[in-house]
Amino acid sequence: MIILKTVKDLTKQLEAYRDAGKTTGFVPTMGALHEGHLSLIREAKAKADITICSIFVNPTQFNDPEDFKKYPVTTGNDIELLLGENVDLLFLPSANEMYPKDLEKKVYPLGPLEMTLEGAHRPGHFQGVAQVIDRLVGIIQPTYMVMGQKDFQQVMIVRRLLALLKSKTALITGPTLREPSGLAKSSRNTRLTAQQLNQAAAIYQALLFGKETAGTIPIKELIQQMEQRLLKAGFAKVDYVAFYDPTNLSPLESYTKGTPAVILVAAFLGDVRLIDNITL
């Protein structure tokens, strides 16, 4: 695996791949890698000749400075995991490399998608996501980029961004990998105590309950019952339980079994904010 830290070195290596006619599959991450990330890398590997991963804890997408400070960094272990997956190239840039002083500052017209759920609770978050993905896709111009459904709204935002940029990169999504308890794997799980790890499984339990019960009781009641389950399990605060149209992330007023919907949850266990979702 080649490890590169500068845009200059990366660009040179990418030219070599392009000259050799290779397709590239790119998985952007913030590190503290787990099986969820590795499953995306396997998808990239299955699609493309060359697999590229980036690790960059992007400061501009953190609305909460404490969350940024506490974000786990496990680079040595990450490199071991990527070696185990036969990743071809790891891009490990510094913040100066990603955001040089002369880089054009853009405001991305992400539309109503940016105003709801994560966008509403984490002001500026998706502008930060758009900025880092714009930069990475601009440099790498991958044939494919693989992202996780775990971050359902992020996938929709990035799809819109790629359209705005008229990018040729094809976005592929991978399913959410879970612990045996149902808890979605997440880098932030490393900040949970053993007891909280048990309690955290309540998110998936609530989502399963929501999926099973949808269409039998009014949506408002369903959401209330899910929130109650989370609070009862020990969650300190529920940012949202949302029952949405998966095509445009607008709230569904009613639901008929068999039609598409997505239930999304964000909730705090102690000071750790967890998100998850399930599609119907």
Amino acid sitting at position 260: P
Closest C-alpha among 271, 247, 50 to residue 152: 247
Report in angstroms how near the CB of residue 12 gets to ligand AMP at its nearest.
26
- Long-range contact set of residues 61-65: C-beta below 8 Å, sequence gap at least 24: 61/124, 61/125, 61/126, 61/128, 61/129, 61/131, 61/132, 62/125, 62/128, 63/122, 63/123, 63/124, 63/125, 64/122
Position 187 contacts ligand AMP (CB under 6 A): yes
Stretch that binds ligand AMP, among 160-168, 170-178, 191-199, 222-230 (CB under 6 A): 170-178
Phi/psi of residue 278, each to 5°?
-145, 140
Binding mask 36-55 for ligand AMP (x = CB under 6 A): xx-xx---------------
Residues sharing a CB contact under 8 Å with residue 70, sequence separation 6 or more, in sequence order: 191
How many CA atoms lie less than 13 Å away from 110 in the CB half-sphere? Answer: 26
- Select the residue interacting with ligand AMP from 186, 214, 242, 261 (CB under 6 A): 186
Considering beta carbons, is residue 150 or 229 the nearer one to ligand AMP?
150
# residues near ligand AMP by CB under 6 A: 17
- Kindly identify the residues of this chain, within the stretch 204-233, that bind ligand AMP according to CB under 6 A: none
- If you compute the radius of gyration of the chain from its CA atoms, what whole number of angstroms results? 19
For 219, the token pair is: 């949506």
Stretch that binds ligand AMP, among 78-86, 136-144, 174-182, 191-199 (CB under 6 A): 174-182
Report in angstroms how near the CB of residue 177 gets to ligand AMP at its nearest.
4
Considering beta carbons, is residue 37 or 160 the nearer one to ligand AMP?
37
Active site residue 37: yes
Position 176 contacts ligand AMP (CB under 6 A): yes
* Residue 182 Rama label (left phi>0; alpha psi -120 to 50; beta): left
Euclidean distance between CA atoms 165 and 44, whole angstroms: 22
Stretch that binds ligand AMP, among 103-111, 120-128, 143-151, 246-254 (CB under 6 A): 143-151
| Chain residues in the site for ligand AMP (CB under 6 A) | 29-30, 36-37, 39-40, 147-148, 150-151, 174, 176-177, 184-187
What residues are labeled active site?
Answer: 37
